Amino acid sequence: MTDISITQARADLAETIKKARKRPVCITSRGEAQAVIIDPSLYEKMLEALEEIEDLTAYDEAMADPSPSIPWEQVKRDLGI
């Protein structure tokens, strides 16, 4: 990740965005991270990965639930399938 100051980013926003297409750019103020600019395709991949993790977590929680499950045939009957 490339770090640049807010002043640098503001001075040449087009160049900052160009850099972000190759790798994330961390915008700093007084040495502290304030924001990160990333390529939209990387952002989409990150969202997909997060959703996958959430799905896996929900699955693990469901499998750990000791309450009795509903048989698939009963679910289909209840839904009229």
Tell which residue, 47, 24, 28, 46, has the closest CA to residue 37. 24
User: At 38, phi and psi to the nearest 5?
Assistant: -135, 160
Instruction: Give dist(CA 41, CA 29) in Å, integer.
Output: 26
For 62, the token pair is 């469901």
Q: CA 80, CA 64: separation in Å to the nearest integer?
A: 29
Return per-residue pLDDT of the chain as tens, 81 residues. 999 999 999 999 999 999 999 999 999 999 999 999 999 999 999 999 999 999 999 999 989 988 888 889 999 999 999
Q: In what order do the strands lie in the sheet with 25-29?
A: 2-5, 25-29, 32-37
Rounded to two decimals, the pTM is 0.67
> Please, what are the domains in the chain?
2-38 (3.40.1620)
Distance CA 80, CA 70 (A): 15
